[in-house]
């Protein structure tokens, strides 16, 4: 029996003014948030923020959605993902995808790393419609059900989480570092 190849990946749903950023991923043929593989030495949140910078040219911060246990000393707490997906992009290849909800801090409207596929900001009505026009193909494509549902949830939660002037930095940055 062939061995399943399994990778740890991340996805970041970036929200700004009631819209969430997605791009057309040509290889997969779907509307997706920024994301990719966790690199050596990265924590999941740091990888997500890097992917958002690389793919969308945006600076973002995680929405603080999880509770914290207060303690003195000990390891730093990293914002956990909103959810974890079990994805199979190819036969015998699995992605354990940690999904983060983020707020855009700088760079809006962004710029795609793929010049043929711009960053598109979807509002709730566009996500609920469940399909969108892909300029590079000239056709309409259905949004994957997870992207649609998670995009809507990111919009809902971002609207309920107040701006945090002292947002937590990813663990990969030293204390006192600024963006």
**Can you give the pLDDT of all 179 residues of the chain as single tens digits?**
567 789 999 999 999 999 999 999 988 899 999 999 999 999 999 999 999 999 999 999 999 999 989 999 999 999 999 999 999 888 888 999 999 999 999 999 999 998 888 899 999 999 999 999 999 999 999 999 999 999 999 999 999 998 765 444 333 333 333 32
Label residues 51-88 b or e (16+ Cβ within 10 Å = b).
bbbebbbbbbbbbeeeeeeeeeeeeeebbebbeeeeee
Residue 169 belongs to a domain: no
108: CATH:
3.90.79.10
Of the candidates 57, 44, 59, the residue with the CA atom closest to the CA atom of residue 11: 44
**Rounded to two decimals, what is the model's pTM?**
0.88
- Asked if residue 175 is part of any domain, the answer here is no
Look up the domain containing 131 and give its range: 5-66+79-160
**Residue 171 located in a structural domain:** no
Count the domains in the chain: 1
Q: Is the residue at 129 inside a domain?
A: yes
CB atoms within 10 A of CB 14: 32
In a domain, 166, yes or no: no
Residue 172 lies in a domain: no
Question: What's the rounded Cα separation, in Å, for the pair 41 and 47?
Answer: 9
Does 40 fall in a domain? yes
- Residue 43, judged by CB atoms within 10 A of its CB (0-12, 13-18, 19+), counts as middle
Residue 74 inside a domain? The answer is no
- Report the DSSP pairing between strands 93-106 and 5-16: parallel
């Amino acid at each position: 029996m062939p061995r399943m190849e399994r990778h740890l990946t991340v996805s970041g749903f970036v929200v700004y003014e009631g819209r969430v950023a997605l791009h057309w991923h040509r290889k997969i043929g779907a509307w997706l948030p920024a994301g990719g593989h966790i690199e050596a030495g990265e924590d999941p949140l740091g990888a997500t923020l890097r992917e958002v910078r690389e793919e969308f040219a945006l600076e973002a911060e995680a929405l603080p959605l999880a509770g914290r246990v207060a303690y003195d000393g000990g390891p730093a707490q990293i914002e956990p993902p909103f959810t974890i997906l079990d994805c199979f992009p190819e036969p015998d290849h699995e992605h354990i995808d940690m999904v983060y909800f983020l707020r855009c801090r700088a760079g809006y409207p962004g710029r795609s790393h793929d010049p043929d596929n711009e960053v598109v900001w979807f509002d709730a009505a566009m996500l609920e419609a469940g399909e969108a026009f892909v300029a590079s193909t000239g056709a309409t494509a259905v949004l994957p059900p997870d992207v649609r549902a998670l995009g809507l949830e990111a919009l809902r939660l971002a609207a309920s989480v107040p701006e945090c002037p002292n947002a937590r930095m990813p663990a990969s940055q030293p204390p006192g570092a600024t963006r």
